[in-house]
Amino acid sequence: MVELARRSVLLNLLATPLAPRLAPSARLTLPTASGEVGMAGCVSYPDWLLGTWDVSNTLQRFVMPLGSALVDPLTQLSAMDDLRRDETLRYLLRWTRDGTGACVQDRAFNGAQEAAAFLGDLGSVAASVFATPPDAPHGRLRIDFEPDGGEPHR
């Protein structure tokens, strides 16, 4: 009993309080793919991803790990329709260097490419912009869509 009490006292003395780590001056940062902590903004990737990649994407299954109650019926029907079509989508993805020399994805380009591939004949991407404003430190991607023969949608 005495040994247990002594350990408890020592652990309490050695434990650092949580409050200073939660102070307003504490800055949260994103982990990088290598597990190191990076600055707020884009996640960095290994250098071997640098360049433009030709991607082939075929939907093979659709799962709802938290149950169908959390996935709206339109999304479920759309996924099942995509599975039935057994279509392979092709698009480009690009990774570049940022101002610090880190390998990052070109989020505006990649977002536009993926969206255009998934839209198919239903429309096109009118514009794609990625920025990291102060109110969104991890970035904000905006894609404007243009249905065939119509006005752009944001």
Q: Give the tens place of pLDDT for each residue, 63-107.
A: 888 888 899 999 999 889 888 988 899 999 999 999 899 999 999
pLDDT at 7: 46
49 in any annotated domain: yes
pLDDT at 10: 43
152 in any annotated domain: no
> From the CA atom positions of the chain, what is the Rg in Å?
23
21 in any annotated domain: no
What dihedral do alpha carbons 110, 108, 102, 100 form, nearest 10°?
170
Of 4-8, 91-95, 118-122, least confident by mean pLDDT is: 4-8
Q: Which residues form the domain of 127?
A: 39-147
4 in any annotated domain: no
- Indicate whether 61 pLDDT > 70: yes
HEC per residue, the chain: CHHHHHHHHHHHHHCCCCHHHHCCCCCCCCECCCCCECCCCCCCECHHHCEEEEEEEECCCCCCCCCHHHCCHHHHHHHHHHHHHCCEEEEEEEEEECCCCCEEECHHHHHHHHHHHHHHHHEEEEEEEEECCCCCCCCEEEEEEEECCCCCEC
pLDDT at 62: 86
128 in any annotated domain: yes
87 in any annotated domain: yes
User: How many structural domains does the chain have?
Assistant: 1
**The whole model's pTM is what?**
0.62
44 in any annotated domain: yes
Strand partners, 53: 93
- Indicate whether 13 pLDDT > 80: no
119 in any annotated domain: yes
For 22-58, how does the pLDDT look when each residue is reduced to its tens digit (9 = 90+)?
A: 555 555 555 555 544 445 556 889 999 999 999 999 9
